[in-house]
Amino acid sequence: MNLDDTIVAIATPAGRGGIGVVRVAGADARAIVEPILRLKHDLEPGRALFGELVEPDSCGAGALARDLPETGQCSAAPETRNSRIDEVVVTFFAKPYSYTTDDIIEISAHGSPVVLRHIVELALARGARLAEPGEFTMRAFLNGRIDLTQAEAVRDLIDSQTLYQAKVAAQQLEGALSRRLQPTKEKLIKLIATLEAGIDFAEDDISVLPAIAILERISSIHTPLEELAKSFAYGKLVHEGLTLAIVGRPNVGKSSLFNRLVERERAIVTATPGTTRDLVTETVAIGGIPVRLIDTAGIRRALDEAESIGIRKSMEALADADLVLVVLDSSQAMAAEDHELLDQVAGRPSILVKNKCDLASGSGHQDNDLASGDDIRARVITSATTGQGIAELREEILRCVGGESGAQAESGFLTNVRHQSRVRESITALQAAETAVKNKIPHEMILLDLYSALRALDEITGATTNDDILNLIFSTFCIGK
């Protein structure tokens, strides 16, 4: 990838729309774009200009000298010269204050794929190169405009499915994670510098830290990294979402609860037990976290082959789910299937939902019907018919995934597997350094572990990152960003 090239790409999604944007970036952006535009004013940085997209000919405005006939006269008919294609709005971002720090020109035309593609073709004909996936953002990173965590946040912001995901990505784009890491990195660098000075200038009067002081400094670096690593449990759910399976025996109201959470009639509901034979899925946002809901077939002794297949799929969904809602009919005494199901989810993140509370009477089951060993995260009383308890159920789901742990109020938490692995690498290196200090290993060897810890942190922000990692990251971007 040649970063000196001028690149072009369509920056808006494929398909038809009211507006489509073509982005051109590089040293020759103005020279490439101006001949295909008819503007009343010259391009000015930070100013949007209304104009026309025109079809340049060999002797139209802005034609290259080598394209003109030897006579210097144009043989084309006047009415064919620079014919208008579309009305456009052109915005010029001058270097070094643009997104990539290059000159960038954005042409906003009507969102016809034919028009947008033609603009790209005109730019290519005048010397531009088609941009690779993520090349605009990669240039921003390589030119020091943003660090690697901010570059990855651009992708996360584009891919966000909920408003909360977008807000978290925006925090990362502003450098929240980098700011959180910076004090820890500074402490680590100071410790390395102190030990290096003690080794390089041992003949001078530079004091070398005693072992207890080194351990205290390593601990002050280790502790915040451990806290940061713990934030990944919640950050991963924010980034990727979770799967929630609704399970129970037939006719306890699983599909009705599913519809309540989805807020529309997505699953078929009848009074006949065993209506749901296959898995029904829908993704909703709960507390800003994408939750993939799975309505399962009622679990009981199957009456036919189709129901048997449905129950097997239900058990598979239960095994794969991040969180399980075990639904009981509170108007009836617990059945053997209920106890068996509670045994199967023991030790799993689970919520016990006692549904049909509007029908409950003295004959319904009580809490003492539950075995003392049942490992249930919480109990919620609901009525899918009246909507009672649905809000409380949503809150409990959010609590179960860490929504009240305080992580969501904290900026700069980990949402990326790559970041988590590098933080863990740094922690492992610090633990090795602690062990080396306790075993009275020479400082030269301790420094190797400390440098390993620093290198892992640098790879998060991109201070030291090899080309293979960069290519892997930016290949997941869309073209035009």
Residue 19: strand pairing partners: 110
70 or 330: which carries more pLDDT confidence?
330
pLDDT reported for residue 311: 74
Q: pTM for the complete prediction?
A: 0.77
Longest CA–CA separation in the chain, Å = 104
Place of tokens 């073709």: 121
Q: Dump pLDDT digits (tens) for 25-48.
A: 999 999 999 999 999 889 999 899
pLDDT reported for residue 65: 38
> What topology is assigned to 240-400 in CATH?
Rossmann fold (3.40.50)
Helices (H) and strands (E) in the chain, counts: 15, 13
DSSP SS3 for 392: helix
Give me the residue spans of the domains in the chain.
7-131, 157-231+413-474, 240-400
> What topology is assigned to 7-131 in CATH?
Gyrase A; domain 2 (3.30.1360)
Quickly list DSSP for 400-465: HTTTTSSGGGSSS----HHHHHHHHHHHHHHHHHHHHHHTT--HHHHHHHHHHHHHHHHHHHTSS-
Answer yes or no: are the C-beta atoms of 185 and 451 closer than 8 Å: no
302 or 278: which carries more pLDDT confidence?
278
Q: Give how far Cα 424 sits from Cα of 16, 180, 229, 316, 429, Å.
A: 45, 16, 7, 32, 9
Mean pLDDT of all residues belonging to the chain = 82
**Cis previous bond, 96, omega within 30:** yes
Q: In this structure, how many other beta carbons lie within 10 angstroms of the beta carbon of residue 323?
A: 19
- The structure tokens listed for 299 are 């679990």
Q: Dump pLDDT digits (tens) for 308-321.
A: 677 777 788 888 88
pLDDT confidence of 215, banded at 50, 70, 90? very high
Q: Dump pLDDT digits (tens) for 391-405.
A: 998 888 888 876 544
Q: Rounded distance, CA 261 to CA 282, Å?
A: 10
Residue type, 159: D
Q: Rounded distance, CA 318 to CA 104, Å?
A: 51
Does domain 157-231+413-474 fall under CATH 3.40.50.300? My reply is no
